[in-house]
């Protein structure tokens, strides 16, 4: 109830400021002295107090040229007619490829199907680009899109930053929220894989930012690419890393079920409850309580991974746990390219006419 009241107040503020917050501010990132970030001790208590106005000091600019990490993800459109995913759905490893409705899996949601993700980092911002399946018939990005950040590289996320139903081509904090796992229970006893003994976790329970309200009103932003309406872009202050210059990052797309309180989803639900999107896993197929959801493996940002980091994308030359296979695609039409850095499987598309 508290959060509803907060959201209501927040939307009042946004409505009030709708005309005043957009452009006109610096297009280049401006380094400002950051306020002391909330400590994790303080974060156990909700720290957000609605304020009368949201005054932005620094607005994200354009992405740096060189990406810090790139990831490919399965294109479920290639097997959607068979009511299944082509790969990439391994519940016990917290990997989901299920941009479909539950049970029948006969509705495919291109706006929830992540195909590729890229991360860029500069001194002030972590920039994220999430490429969803381009669908001429429906370009509304009506889901939630986000990034999970694990800055101590132990496999459980510290932050989940989500943006709901992005529509603006300008950077905005509207609809953006940032959640912290202050009591460090995300992931349970086995981070990034299903716990043997399930325990109760409250997930990312501490909301540190929402719609421009929080200790730092400039913490997290979203926009839709002006050139590519299927691309969601996020910008998050590097302050969230609390001094770390390296992190693991996974990307998410979903709807209401992409809920900070349910993390890790692979601990909150049993495999039986969650179901599976791969028809080969016939004991668990089809998807059930976890549907309309997609995520990526985790990119290593700012360091060379050993390969043993929990949830990490397969490294080049390493036997890939999941191959990026376009089933049903005539091989002569299959176009694959290597990601720009070491962090992910080849990105393939089927150019069959």
Q: What's the closest the beta carbon of residue 176 comes to Ca ion, in angstroms? A: 20
End-to-end Cα, the chain, rounded Å: 52
In terms of CB distance, is 185 or 218 closer to Ca ion?
A: 185
Distance CA(112)–CA(60), nearest Å, equals 25
326 in contact with Ca ion (CB under 5 A):
no
* Ramachandran sector of residue 249 (left: φ over 0; alpha: ψ -120 to 50; beta: rest): beta
Site for Ca ion in 227-286 (CB under 5 A): 267
- Asked whether the beta carbons of 322 and 140 are under 8 A apart, the reply is no
In terms of CB distance, is 158 or 218 closer to Ca ion?
A: 158
Give the interface segment with Ca ion, choosing from 111-119, 167-175, 276-284, 311-319 (CB under 5 A): 111-119
Distance CA(86)–CA(107), nearest Å, equals 15
In terms of CB distance, is 185 or 208 closer to Ca ion?
A: 185
Q: Is 105 helix (H, G, I), strand (E, B) or coil?
A: coil
In terms of CB distance, is 218 or 267 closer to Ca ion?
A: 267
Token digits for 337?
A: 């390219």
- Beta pairing, strands 220-224 & 114-121: unpaired
- 208 phi/psi in degrees, rounded to 5: -100, -10
How far does CA 225 lie from the centroid of its chain?
A: 16
Token digits for 332?
A: 């002569």
Q: What's the closest the beta carbon of residue 241 comes to Ca ion, in angstroms? A: 11
309 in contact with Ca ion (CB under 5 A):
no
Q: What's the closest the beta carbon of residue 33 comes to Ca ion, in angstroms? A: 27
Site for Ca ion (CB under 5 A): which residue of 89, 116, 148, 181? 181
Binding mask 71-100 for Ca ion (x = CB under 5 A): --xx--------------------------
188 in contact with Ca ion (CB under 5 A):
yes
Residues that bind Ca ion (CB under 5 A): 73-74, 113-114, 150, 152, 154, 156, 181, 183, 185, 187-188, 190, 195, 202, 205, 267, 294
């Amino acid at each position: 109830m508290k959060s509803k009241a907060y959201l209501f107040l927040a939307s009042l503020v946004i409505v009030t400021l709708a005309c005043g917050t957009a452009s006109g501010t610096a297009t280049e990132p401006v380094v400002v002295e950051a306020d002391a970030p909330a400590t994790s001790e303080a974060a156990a208590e909700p720290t957000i107090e609605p304020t009368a106005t949201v005054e932005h000091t620094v607005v994200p600019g354009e992405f740096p040229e060189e990406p810090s990490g790139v990831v490919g993800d399965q294109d479920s459109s290639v097997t959607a007619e068979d009511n299944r995913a082509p790969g990439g759905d391994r519940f016990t490893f917290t990997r989901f490829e299920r941009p479909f409705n539950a049970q029948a899996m006969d509705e495919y949601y291109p706006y929830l199907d992540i195909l590729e993700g890229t991360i860029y980092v500069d001194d002030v911002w972590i920039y994220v680009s999430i490429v969803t399946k381009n669908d001429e018939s429906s370009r509304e990005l009506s889901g939630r899109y986000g990034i999970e950040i694990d800055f101590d590289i132990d496999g459980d996320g510290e932050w989940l930053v989500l943006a709901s139903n992005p529509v603006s081509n300008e950077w905005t904090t509207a609809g953006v929220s940032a959640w912290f796992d202050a009591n460090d229970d995300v992931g349970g006893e086995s981070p990034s894989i299903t716990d043997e003994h399930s325990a109760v976790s409250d997930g990312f329970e501490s909301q540190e930012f929402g719609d421009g309200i929080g200790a730092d009103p400039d913490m997290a932003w979203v926009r839709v690419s002006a050139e590519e309406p299927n691309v969601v872009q996020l910008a998050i202050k590097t302050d969230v890393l609390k001094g770390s210059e390296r992190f693991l990052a996974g990307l998410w797309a979903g709807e209401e079920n992409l809920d900070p309180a349910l993390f890790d989803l692979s601990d909150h639900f049993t495999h039986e409850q969650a179901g599976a999107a791969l028809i080969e896993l016939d004991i668990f197929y089809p998807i059930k309580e976890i549907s309309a959801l997609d995520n990526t493996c985790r990119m290593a940002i700012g360091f060379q991974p050993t390969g043993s980091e929990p949830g990490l994308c397969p490294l080049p030359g390493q036997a890939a746990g999941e191959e990026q296979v376009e089933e049903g695609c005539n091989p002569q039409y299959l176009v694959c390219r290597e990601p720009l850095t070491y962090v992910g499987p080849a990105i393939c598309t089927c150019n069959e006419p």
